A = this chain, B = another copy of it.
Amino acid sequence: MTTTPAPADIPATPPPSVAPIPHFWAVIPAGGAGTRLWPLSRQSAPKFLRDLRGSGRTLLQETYDRLAPLAQERFLVVTGRAHEAAVLGQLAELPGEAVLAEPSARDSMAAIGLAAAVLERTDPDAVMGSFAADHVISPASVFAETVARAVEVAREGWLVTLGIEPTHPSSAFGYIRAGEPLAGHDAQVVASFVEKPSVETAAGYLAEGGYRWNAGMFVVRPGVLLDLLAQWHPEFAAALRDLAADLGRLEEVWPTLPKIALDHAVAEPAAAAGRVATVAAAFGWDDVGDFDSLATLLLAAGTPEQRLAVLGDADLVHAVDASGVVVTGGRAVAVVGLEDVVVVDTEDALLVTTRSRAQEVKAVVGALKDAGRADLV
């Protein structure tokens, strides 16, 4: 789940050569509790609110830090009502109206579509870029340069998706198949989106070339996005536009909106219609999907001989012949004679597993819910 990870010494803000992009609006969907980083990530404290790199900044804050030089004060964060206060607390720079609080989770099309509808009314020249709040990206300068390129393409009416250059044949991501080059731009038309493949199929993609990871990052003019949505879901698009005209009706309208991912609602049919472009993204990217991914990320930021990564206070960890990752939670942690172990210590719950079994943590979360321990998940 990892590309070249972020070295620890990459500065939070890009170099001065990164210029603000006029009318560029950063949209940050901050949702999706997930369960594969339990007990570090909880429904009450999802991973975007966490510092997963030991950088002193949470993933949400790092996302903001990357985008602020480009968007300046033009931000919209879309998050669950339960996290509105935490988001505003972590991003004290933002005014209250920069956070759109969803009454309930209704998947990405509703969340990002609402942001688009709001921006369409706010700034007729707006180009929005949507970037999840819980990804790790570096270096920020390459990210900024890539976004700037995507904005240029988007201004011409394309739905532009950032395609991550694959570093290995991952089966964890969907792929973007790039088609014809776009005249006048360092970009290509998207031939198609491809569902998560097997590792073997993915290896074939890499050998063939022209395939990129779909990280769900895209840049588009709000009106273009809504017009595309209107082609396949006209009532949905109309409802979002009506809602943006009167946000007081959010509580009433929100539960009636379809639960559908933006990829399915717009990106895939639009690609089939030849309306989607892609720019190649050469930055390191990681969605920190599980503790195996976290271990890779942290170890890559360490010294070459480091075998055991620590997130938290490394002085608390006493290891003898051990490798893997330890997330500390305030207590001393001793690990003896275990390879590729995952130990996550929190105040009320402890996880012990291995990097290769890290995905199965979601089964524990399910079992905890069944056991009536919703307080822990």
Query: What is A's interface to B at a CB cutoff of 8 Å?
Result: 38-39, 315, 318, 320-321, 331-338, 341, 343, 345, 347-354, 356-358, 360-361, 363-364, 367-368, 371, 373, 376
Please determine whether B368 and A356 come into contact, CB atoms closer than 8 angstroms: no
Are A350 and B350 in touch, CB under 8 angstroms? yes
**Per a CB cutoff under 8 Å, which of B338, B351, B368 touches A353?**
B338
**Nearest CB in chain B: distance from A375 CB, A:** 9
Residue in chain B with minimal CB distance to A348: B331
A358 to B334, CA, bound (A): 12
Q: A318-B368, A367-B318, A371-B318 are in contact. Are A360 and B348 (CB under 8 A)?
A: no
* Cβ-defined partner of A333 (8 Å) among B318, B336, B350: B350
4 pairs of A and B residues whose beta carbons are closest in the complex? A337-B357, A336-B353, A332-B349, A334-B364
Question: How far, in angstroms, from A331 to B347 measured CA to CA in the complex?
Answer: 8
A246 to chain B, nearest CB (A): 45
Contact between B336 and A363, CB atoms less than 8 A apart: yes
By a CB distance below 8 angstroms, the chain B residues around A358 are 336
Q: Give the number of times this chain occurs in the complex, counting copies.
A: 2
Residues A361 and B336 in contact, CB atoms below 8 Å apart: yes
What is the chain B residue whose CB lies nearest that of A355?
B337
When distances are taken between beta carbons in the complex, the residues of chain B under 8 Å from A320 are: 360, 363-364, 367
A345 near B350 with CB under 8 A, answer yes
A332 touches B348 (CB 8 A): yes
Contacts of A343 in B (CB 8 A): 350, 352
Contact residues in B for A351 (Cβ distance below 8 Å): 334-336
Seed contacts A332-B348, A335-B351; 4 additional CB < 8 Å A-B pairs: A321-B357, A331-B348, A334-B350, A338-B352
Nearest CB in chain B: distance from A306 CB, A: 18
A360 and B331 within 8 A (CB):
no
B332 touching A353, Cβ below 8 Å: no
Q: How far is the CA of A331 from the CA of B344 in the complex (A)?
A: 12
Closest to A359 in B: B336
- A332 engages B361 (CB within 8 Å): no
